[in-house]
Structure formats: C-alpha cells, structure tokens
Chain A
Amino acid sequence: MRAWQIVRKDLVILLRDRRALITLLILPIVFIAILGLTTGQILTGRSTNRLRLTLVDQNRSSLAQQVIQEISKDPRIEVELEESVTAAEDRIGQGASTAAVIIGEGFSRKAAEIQLIDLLEIPDRRLAEGLGSLDVQVRSKTTLPLTRAAISQLVFLKTLQVLARYVTSRLPLVKAYIDAHPQLAFEARPNSAAPEVNPYFSDLIASRSAVYLTLVPSYTVMFAFFLINFMARSFIGERTTGTLFRLKAAPVSNMVVITGKIVPFFLVAVVQGIILFAAGRLLFGMSWGVKPWMLLPVIVSTSLAVTALGLLTGALVRSEVQVVAYGTFLVVVLAGISGCLMPRDWMPPTMQKVSLVTPHAWALLAYDQLLTTERPDLALVALSCAVLVGFAALFFAAGLICFRRLRRNSNVSF
C-alpha cells in the first residue's frame, strides 16, 4: 500500500504539469488532425477516397465510348475527360489527377482484330502486351510506378469486359441467340451492376476517416513513447531535488519505490491511448474495427512496454540534458524504424522485418489487424500483445540491473 503513496504523489505532480498534459494528450490530437488534413490525399488517394483518372479519347469510336462508360460507372473511380494528351498531363502535374488513360487512334482497329481465342489465351496471343496491344496508354508521375501498374491492370480489366461482349456478339451462334433475346444485347444494358464490395470496406473506402485508421494508431503509439521522457525526468528529478534521499531513508524497499514510480506513468499511458482512440472516433469519425474491445489489451501491453522503457531510460540518463537528448532521439528513431511516421506498407520488406525489433512495430501490427481487416487475425494480435509484454519484461529487468550498478557506484540510485 505504501507504493500507492508514491503513485498518488506522482499522479498529482503529473496532473499539475499542464505542459506535460498538453504534450501527452492535446499535441497528439492536433498532430493527427494536421496530418489528416495534409496527408489525406497521399494515404487514401483523396479526401473522397476515389481514384481520379483523366481520359483522352483519340479514337472516338462507340467501342471507345463503351470503355469510357465501363470505367466511369465504377464508384471508386472519378473520371475527367480531356481533349488532348497535353491537357491530361497538365492535370497530373497539378495533382488534380492520379493518372491519364489515353485511348489511341488505333484502338477500334486493333479491337476489331481480336478473336475469341485471344480472350481465352491472353498471355500468348494478341492481348499479350496488355493495354499496349490495344493502343491504350496509362500515364502518371514517374514517382508512382506501382500506382501506374495497378491502374493499367484496372483499365485493362474494364477494356476486356467491353471486348468480351464485343467479340462474342460477333460470333454467329451468339449473335443468333442475342437476336432471339434482344434484352441480352449489350447495347441494351450498358449499365451493369457495380462491382460488389464488402459493405464494411465500401464504407471504409468511401469514408473520409480512412486516413485516421493509419494516423491514430501510429501517433498513439509514438506519443505513448514520449512518456519515457517524462518518466526519466521524474527519476532525475528525485535525484536532483534530494527527495531520493528521503525515499531511500523511508521504511520501504527499493522495489516499492520503483513500483510507485512506474505505476502512475503506466496509468497515464493507458488513459492516453484510450483518449486518443476516443478522439479518433469522436473528432475524426474513425472506425474501431469489428472487435473494438480487442484494442484495450493492445493499449495495455503497449503501455507496459512504454513504462518499462521509461524505467530503463531513467536508469541510464544522468541529467535533464541527457533526458532531452537521448529520450527524444530514442522516441524519434524508434518511431521512424517501426513505421509510426509512415504507413508500414510503404516500407521495403526488409525494413518491415527490421522494424520488428521495436515494440512500436508490434503494436502497429496489432492495431492494423484490428482496425483495417474484416476478419482480424486474433492469433497475430495475441502474439503482438505477448511480444509487447516480453519487451516490457526485458526493459524492466535491464532497468533494475542498471539501477543496481548505479547504486554500487554512488549513493544516489533507487
């Protein structure tokens, strides 16, 4: 119970430190809001979450029009038509469009050459070169090669849907069948149903809040680790103000003192995590995923790792200057390695593996499962929590060893 005296004392001191509270609670929300506004386009395509394509129809055939219609009716794609390639490229340069699709003059001629066998054996026949086989080009910024490749595949798929109807309708048997059933003619039903998307994810994709599914967990984890600075300062403060002598002279064991020192910060870390996820929901409309209650064990295990790392940092630093230097370095570097500063998916596979040496990365893995997948892999979430608790145990043991070494060399250690 005597540890509770220290817990209560440190909580009072922490809650009276308005700057600390602003840094721990308000700053992350402001940070997330600003990044949500400024990077929304990068992370989710656009605030409306639709892919923006500029189409240039140099062919001007009915078949080209059908391709344009096929692309336009996809709810995930926003289409703008331009008269010239130059105008389309200008839109890309201005950031108004992600890519331009240019249907060349030779499109209808090349489409007329396509036979049924070309559709059945795409890699080996006339369509082997994809859109290039049909005089259709996709252009985007050179910095987005993967985006260009993905859009090319999407446009090729849409074009094949048109070509499939076009080619099969020319076959005598099919033609005779369609003639007998005019309601089946593709001209008569130009608007087929939109592709089916899982309702949860269609909401997610269409939602402006999708960006916060990346930002809120990333910055919740990063700012949780900011606590290590405050913890280390608290340990240093006990030394520099002389109160450590009083604590050591009191009838309590070192373990009670250390427990009393770390519990308040653990509680603050948990509350911080809950507040930031609540703010994500209330202020930014983010989803808590299909199993919201599972977020709590991740927040708790992350908080354990944070407080144990704070203990280790407190044992290693010797002054306030070192707290600022090492603590901030630790927070920023670990955030960078782990993928807090950018979506983990953007990181090269090697770096994604390297990042697993940080507790942050495991927390992000768990949050990613819970927030962005329809059926979260609960085994992976449990593993992440276990690894975070393992990190906590490791940091805690290392912190105790460092304190013991310090005590052996001086009389000012816990």
Chain B
Amino acid sequence: MTKPPRRFSVKRRLLFMLLATVALAWLLTVLMSYRDARRQVDALLDAHLAQSAALLAAQLGAEFHEGNEGEEEREEIDADDLTHLHQYSRQVVFQIWQDGRRLLLHSANAPRERLAAQEKGFSDAVHGDERWRVFSLWIGPGQPLIQVGERHEVRDRIVGSIAEHLLQPLLIALPGLAVVIWFGVTRALTPLTALSAQVMQRDPENLTPLEASEAPVEVAPLVESLNRLFARVRASLDNERRFTADAAHELRTPLAALKTQAQVARAATTDSERQRALDNVIVASDRAAHLVEQLLTLARLEPGRPVSPWQRCELRAVAAATVAELAPLARRKNIELELDPGGPTPVDGNPELLRILLRNLIDNAVRYSPTGSVIRLAVTPERTRVALAVTDQGPGLASEEREKVWQRFYRILGSGETGSGLGLSIVKRIADVHQAAVSLDEGDQGKGLRVTVIFRYPEPA
C-alpha cells in the first residue's frame, strides 16, 4: 500500500491559525505598549535626572556663594540624603567636578571617573559593563559641573516588568483559548463527521440522496453536489445496465439461429439440406459478428472518451471512399449509390469515425431500399456548416417512429431486416462527438427517408 498523502486537518489548522493570530496580536500589543512604556519611562526618569541636577545645582550654588569653596576633595555624600527626590533616587548618582576636571563631591555609589564626556544635557555612557544615562549641568560660569547619572538597567527593569505584566495573561489565556477553539471546532464539524459516516457506511449500490436537512449552510452545498453526483451516476449506471441487458438479449437471437442451423446441418439426411443449413450457419455467424462489431463501435464511442486523431477531413472524399466500399453490397440488391459532385467540404473530425458514420447511413439505406432504387448522397458546403444528406427511396419512417430510431436496438419491426438495431445509435453518437446535428425527414417528393447530418464549418487553420 502506498502511503496516503499528508492531509491537513481543518481542526488543527483552525486551531493553529486562531492561536497564532491571537498570540501575534497580543505580542504586537505588548511590543507597542513596551515601546510606549519605554518612551514614557525614559521621559519621566530623564525629567527626574534633570530635576535632581537642578536641585543639586541650587543647593551647591548657594554653598559656593557662601564662600565655602569645598576644599575637601572627593567628599562623599550618601545619596540617601537625597531620598526625598524619587523612589528610584537610590539608583541616582551624582558627581560635582571643579572646572569639569577635579572631582569635588560625589554620591557614594558613583563611579570615580567622569560619568559622561559631554558637559551639557543628556547623554549615554558606558562604565565597566554598565550603561548609564547622564545629565550634565554647569552650576554657573566659573562654577563646578554637575553630572547626575542613572544605570539604564533600572529603566530596563521597570519596562521589563511592565511587559511581563502584559504578557502574563496571554500565557494563561492561550491554552484556555486553545481548549475553547478545539471544542468549538469539533462541535462545528459534527455534521461533516456525521456526513462522512453516512457516506462510509453506504453500500456501493446505494445511490439514493443523502439526508441533508440537518446540514449547516457550509455543508449543504457539498451534500447537494454529492446528491447530484449520485443522481448522475445512477442514471449512467441504469443506462449501462439497460444496455448490457439489451445487448445480451440481442445477441441471443443470432446465436439461437446459429445453433439451430448447426443442429439442422448435423441432422440433415441429404447433401443439399446440409449445404443449405451450413450456408445459413455462415450467414448467422456473420450477423452475430456484425452485431458484436457494432456493439464494440458503440462502446468505443463512450461519451467523454477522447477521440484521436482529430484532424481536418474532406467529407466528400470520405463519402466517396465509403460509397466505393459499399457499392458491391448495393449492387447485390440492384441499388445504385450516387454521390453529388461539388466544392470542397472540410470538416474537423476523426476520419475513421466519419467513415463508420457514412457506412452505417449507407448500409441502413441499402437495407431498407427496394431493389432497383437509387440512394443519393449529397455533401453541401454552406457558409457556416457542411451538410451531409443520405436520401433513399425506401418506405420512409412514420413521424412517430423518427424519434425512436435513435434508441439502441430499435428496429423497424416487420421490415424483415436483420440489422443490429444499432446503426443509427452509432450515427448519433459519432455526430455528437463531432458536435453535428442529425435529423430525419422525408425524401424527394415526400417519399423515402432522408438523413441529414450538419457539421460545423471548421475555423480556418
């Protein structure tokens, strides 16, 4: 057994798509919130840095003005003294540089080198493996430089915490959502599952319509299509069954004749009796063979089967060849076959099938024509079509019979003819294959029968 192709599951796909969409939307929200939070936190903490620097400047500026030049170098100030500034002030460090070069004062947690090279406004700097945000400010002309700094890590932590709070519900909600979707989709797919079970349990012979009353809107068209398909399959099966049955029955009579004549030959007591029966055996075999041949032709003309080759044919030439082929048969009944002369008659089709069509038409005409009559063939090119007409001088067809003769095995009873009853069915099939129209009407002066096949004039090549 070959491995079946990997199939996708509607359930799994829906689940995946819904979860992915929800997760993505959520993540996008988180990302945007994170960026927004980052901006806000940056702005807020920058403001705090600036404010701290301003406070320091104000305080120190006053001290410097009082003359305390702050001779002690590198005095350390516990940043805790500035706790009233901000809850994050513990993280905030400052340095006060005389002329920007000599460290006058700094908070305990501040690094020893200058926080930032820049001497005005906000800047970013790296000390060791830590990134810093620094605000620099000169207290005044000729006065020390104040630098207030803060580790970026602090801001990262705040923003990270915000993002974390945003993400947490997603982690809880996604599995919950998955469960809800799973159950929802399973429920929604129940009619499909039921339909599948209904189809699976079906007998192949059972082509009755599926129960569709409870199917949801999405499944109803599938059920309807299936039911339409069932109807078509049933019709075609019925047709085939009928045909097979008819064909078997039609074969029985020639076989019965064959067997009977053979038995007569075997029991014959005189040579002439035996000879006559044996001749009849041969005629009966020919007839059975002809019927089988016609059946096979019809089987080959199954609708939907591609026909090849398909080419430009000269219909009159095909007609002429068929007339030549069947002339001896006609001559035996002293019937004359005539083909009207005329211009070119191009037709697109299969030459072999066209020949079979013509042979059946002529054969039929010969069968039903009286001895000494004439069968006329005309192939007429017209602007948009090519008309083929076969006219005989036989008994013709009553109008109510004209529809029936296209049916398989329909035979005009009492004609004494031993045709297969398939000739016109074959003609019709071949005409259908060539998209040609077939019609029956009276022959010349209302006598006999005229079969007309109208082909489409081919597109110029």
Please indicate whether A and B come from the same complex rather than being unrelated chains.
no
Question: Which residues of A come within 8 Å of B, CB atoms?
Answer: none
Question: Which residues of B come within 8 Å of A, CB atoms?
Answer: none
